[in-house]
Amino acid sequence: MASPLLPRVSVSNAAVGNTISFSSSLSNGLSWRRSTAFPDKSRRKVSTVQAKIREIFMPALSSTMTEGKIVSWIKSEGDVLSKGESVVVVESDKADMDVETFYDGILAAIVVGDGEVAPVGAPIGILAETEDEIAEAKAKASKSGSSAPPPPPPPPPPPPAVVPPKSAASAPVSDVPKKIVATPYAKTLAKQHKVDIGSVVGTGPFGRITSADVEAAAGISPSKSSGVNVVSRAAAAPAPVAAAAPKAAASPAPPPIPGSTVVPFTTMQAAVSKNMVESLSVPTFRVGYPVLTDKLDALYEKVKPKGVTMTALLAKAAAMALAQHPVVNATCKDGKSFTYNSSINIAVAVAINGGLITPVLQDADKLDLYLLSQKWKELLEKARAKQLQPHEYNTGTFTLSNLGMFGVDRFDAILPPGQGAIMAVGASKPTVVTDKDGFFSVKSKMLVNVTADHRIIYGADLAAFLQTFAKIVENPESLTL
**How many angstroms separate the CA atoms of 119 and 111, rounded?**
13
Residues 6+ positions from 220 with CB-CB distance below 8 Å = 193
Burial (0-12, 13-18, 19+ Cβ within 10 Å), 319: buried
Q: What is the largest CA-CA distance in the chain?
A: 110
| Nearest residue to 190 via CA among 211, 221, 165, 163 | 211
**How many angstroms separate the CA atoms of 322 and 347, rounded?**
13
pTM of the model: 0.57
**How many angstroms separate the CA atoms of 47 and 475, rounded?**
72
| Nearest residue to 426 via CA among 406, 442, 444, 453 | 406
Catalytic residues: 454
pLDDT tens, the chain, 481 aa long? 444 433 333 333 333 343 333 333 333 333 444 444 444 444 444 444 345 788 888 887 766 677 888 888 988 888 888 888 888 888 876 677 788 888 888 888 888 888 888 888 888 888 888 877 787 777 777 776 554 444 445 555 555 555 444 444 444 444 445 567 778 777 888 888 888 888 888 887 767 788 888 888 887 766 544 444 444 444 444 444 444 444 444 456 677 788 888 888 877 788 888 888 888 889 999 999 999 999 999 999 999 999 999 999 999 999 999 999 999 999 998 888 999 999 999 999 998 877 889 999 999 999 999 999 999 999 999 988 888 888 899 899 999 999 998 999 999 999 999 899 999 999 999 999 988 888 999 999 999 999 999 999 999 999 999 999 999 999 999 998 8
